[in-house]
Every structure is written in structure tokens, then in C-alpha cells.
Amino acid sequence: MLDNLLDVIKAEGVSEQLYHGLVGVEIEQNRVDKTGRMSRLPHPTVFGSRTFHPYLQSDFAEAQTELITDPNPNIGGVLDQLDTLQTVLYRSLQGDDRIWPLSMPPKLDDEDEAFIRAHFDRPAYAKYRDYLSQKYRLQSKIVTGVHLNYSIPDPVINRLYTHYEDEFDRVTDFRNALYFRMTQNLVLNRWLMTYLFGASPVAEIGFFDETPAELTQPVRSIRSSRFGYANLPQDQVDATIYQSLPHFVAQLSDRIESGTLFDQAEFYGPVRLRGNQHLADDLSKGIKYLEFRGLDTTPFHVNGISRHALYFMKLFFIYALVTPIDSTELVDQLKQSELDNEQVALERPTEPTFKVAEGQRIFKSLHQLAMTLNAHSEQINALDDFAEVMSHPELTPSAKLMSHLTDDGSLMSFGIRRAAEWKARRIGADQLLPRMSRLSVRAQELVFRAVQLGVRYYAVRDEHGEIMLMLTFNELTQVIEADRLADEPATAYLKRLFPDLPLPKQLGDQAI
């Protein structure tokens, strides 16, 4: 199945289009106070309702903020928007709140746990949240991380399909085969991302009632191990669920129908198939994009993920697309991949991984792929950097965190210090939105308020090179010239553009 896909991609000349597949970032972050304690303050009251907000949400805890970028064909565009969302979040925080820079939550005590359980202001999700509270340890629900969304451009899929029409009756079936091959390769190689991006070496006091023997020493990634972001063993949703798309849909549907899982959201596998509300629609209507959830938040980059990480992951998505799957031993390989990931996650951060030889082989294949598809210099540079990390474990995020551990094995002091540094950096910036410095002050204020209220924004250039702002709310889009904005406050202007836009009571006439 999908024989000679790489050759077909080369023959059709679509490698450049493939590099412009859409990437989106979702990042969860815990709000804390200046002492590093989980915040007792509500979700920022100047934000639009979480019932419709496209960018700023919350998760299990009220203090667990989630930022969601729009999908973008360019890594620079993704990072610019992520930085803008982060800036709006930081400048909207109440009191002395700031953002915890680590995937593992800060130190917790009984009062913290009781407060988190008692406070939740998303009625539509209350039933699901109550269910999770009874089934899982609360601490595991406030582990945070980075999720990457990726989609193959439809024109690429349609061009490639002309070579496989004898194999697939519908382009939808062909699309599903492409996405599921990617999914399987991401699962089979999950250990590599755990090695490269693991940044959760220790758990703070209060995370475990009793520290597991495997975690008495620092490890690469608690989050990526069975002790972190994972389903319970009795849920019976291990890596073998990915052996085929029909099997995936059938098994996950069975777990939901039997009450083993609440719904699709409770499936914590490394890859989710996205774009449809109902699982069966993945087969009939087709997968729209993939969500990879195997990345820890890095505390060494202010946005939680680096530019090079995104360039590397985009190239790896293409590698996962073109690399054939050996279906004869797939079930055994999936089982082994889960064991491999667990072993890598629980290795000492400063020591070479037992998978180093396999990692070096993968990087050699990645370099060959990059040359074959005429990768851009940014991808080549990112690949070179991470190839170095593959051979030098001391360069991995978890290893670099070792020097920040205090004598009692804690990262609390580091987290408190880094959170304060990043808040000061955001608040003290010369520009309101540094990544949008090409816009006037008035235009930046408009975008800032739009993000707060939940209005989608896009900055584009027209045929004359002028910057245009596309603002969208409730399926209504308004296009305005960024340099010719009406002389009125941003909130009033947005309300005039979108009469149905709800305004938070706490916003009032508050200046930006």
C-alpha cells in the first residue's frame, strides 16, 4: 500500500507544497502566584467566554490555561501568533499571577488540591470533569505540554491520488491511508520525541502519595511515561490500537460505548485523528488532520517550544508520511514501541539512550529525505542541531535541567525564577505586541483586544503591499486597512464591527 510514495512526490514536484502543510500549536500552561503556588485567581476576566473563544481556553483546573494558534503553512507565522497569544495572556493576568514554565506542576498540598477540585467555571464540561476527578489522580490532570496539529495540503493529496486510483476507490480512502501511515510512524518513533524534547525529570512534593521506585532519580520525561499523560491500564487502549484505522475506530468506539472511556477526549494516545465529531466519520468522511501530543513544554524558550523544534517536527511529519510500514509484524512493533518509549522516558537524562544507534539511523534517513525533497536551510539547520542532541544527551532539555535542581531534587526555585523573568520580559517590552511591530500602535491595540475578546485575526498584505487585518467572529469577517483605522477605542470599534460580540463585564472601558 502506498508503494513508491516518495518517488511519486518527487515526480509530481509537490515537495515545496508539502513543506507548506498546515501546522498549529496548542500549549497548556499552569498559572501560579509569585511563590510558585497554583493560582487561586479565576481565568482572566477580560477574556471572552470560553464557550466560543478560539485562542484562549482552560483545561481541568481553572488555573490551567490553554493557548491555541490558527493553523499556518509557515513556521514563522505559527510562532508569531503563539508569541502574540502569550503576550496577550501575560498582559491580561490578574494580581501577581505568572506562567509556570514546566510541564510538571508546582508543589501541591492538600489545600491546593481541595481548591482545584472546588473551583471550575465551565458548566458544559462539568460532568466530564467530575468523571475525571473520580477516575484519575488530580495531579496527573494538571500535567501540561505541547500538542502539534498537522495537515497535508489538499492539492497535494489530490495530485498524488492520481497515481493510486487503482488502489483506492475514493480520494477519502487515500487521504486516510496517508494520515494513518503518518500516525503509525509517529507512534512507532514516539521514543525519539521523548528523548529529544523530554523536559519533566522530576515531580514536586505532592504529586505522588509515594514516589515510585523508577522515579527516585531524575528521568527524561515523567509526562511521557506511564506516570504522566496516560490512560489507565484497565482502559485497554495501548499502542496496538493503532494497527489499522478500522481497528482504531472500532476499539475506541467500543471503549466509549462500554463506559470504559467517557468520550474521545479521554483517549491519551500520542496521536489523535482530528476533524470529525464522531469516530465513524473518520472512515466515511475522512481524517482532516493529526494531533501529536508527545512534547513536553520546554522551559528554555519563552513560548514553550522553539523555532528549531517546529522545523524539525514538520520535517519529521513528512518522514512519517513517506516511510513504509511493515504490516506483517506491525502489532509486535507497536507493542515494542510502547516499551521502548517507556524505557527512554525513564532513563537518566545525562546518559546515552539505549536507542542511540536507531536514532542515528533515523537522522541519516531524515538527512537523505531533506536532500531529496530540497529542504529549506531552516529545516537543514534544525536537523543538524537535533542530530547533535541525538549523540549528546547532555544537550537534551531534561539533562540541562539537572544543573537547576536543588539539593532536595526540586525545580521549584528554577520555576519561580524563570516565571518571574518571563513575566518581566513580556510586560516590559517596548511594543504592545512585539511580533506585530510592523503594525501601528492603534492596530496592535485592536489585535490585542480582538484576541482578548475571542475574535479571530489574520494580518495579510493586499496586491499593493498594504497590511490588511481580517477579523472574524461568528462567521462574519471584516477586512480593514491596518493603517487607516477609525479613531475610536479598540473595544468600541470591535463592537461596531461585530454587534453580536459579547463583552465581559469586567472589561468596561479598561484601557489596553
Predicted confidence (pLDDT) per residue in 402-450, tens digit: 999 999 999 999 999 999 999 999 999 999 999 999 999 999 999 999 9
How many domains are there within the chain? 2
Q: Torsion-angle region of residue 304: left (phi > 0), alpha (psi -120 to 50) or beta?
A: left
Query: What is the predicted pLDDT for the residue at 461?
Result: 87
Q: Which residue has the cell 490553554?
A: 66
Q: What long-range pairs does 364-373 form, CB within 8 A, spacing at least 24?
A: 365/319, 365/323, 366/315, 366/316, 366/319, 369/6, 369/315, 369/318, 369/319, 369/322, 370/315, 372/6, 372/10, 373/9, 373/10, 373/15, 373/18, 373/19, 373/318
How many CB atoms sit inside 10 A of residue 307's CB? 16
Which residue ranges of the chain lie beneath pLDDT 50? none
Query: What is the predicted pLDDT for the residue at 294?
Result: 94
Picking from 382, 417, 452, the residue at the C-terminal end of a domain is 417
Question: Is the same domain home to 299 and 209?
Answer: yes
Q: Torsion-angle region of residue 259: left (phi > 0), alpha (psi -120 to 50) or beta?
A: left
Helix (H, G, I), strand (E, B) or coil at 32: strand
**148 located within any domain:** yes
Angle at 183 between CA 178 and CA 189, to 5 degrees: 125
- Cα dihedral value 311, 312, 313, 317, nearest 10: 100
Closest CA to 97 of 26, 42, 58: 42
Question: Is the same domain home to 256 and 153?
Answer: yes
Picking from 417, 432, 465, the residue at the C-terminal end of a domain is 417
Question: Is the same domain home to 315 and 359?
Answer: yes
Question: Is the same domain home to 365 and 405?
Answer: yes
Question: Is the same domain home to 396 and 452?
Answer: no
Query: What is the predicted pLDDT for the residue at 459?
Result: 93
Question: Is the same domain home to 406 and 491?
Answer: no
- The domain of 271 spans 5-24+144-417
CATH code at 225?
A: 3.30.590.20
**502 located within any domain:** no
Question: Is the same domain home to 325 and 381?
Answer: yes
- Can you list the positions of beta strands (E) in 43-94? 56-58, 64-68
Question: Is the same domain home to 363 and 241?
Answer: yes
Residues 458 and 70: beta-carbon distance below 8 Å: yes
**51 located within any domain:** no
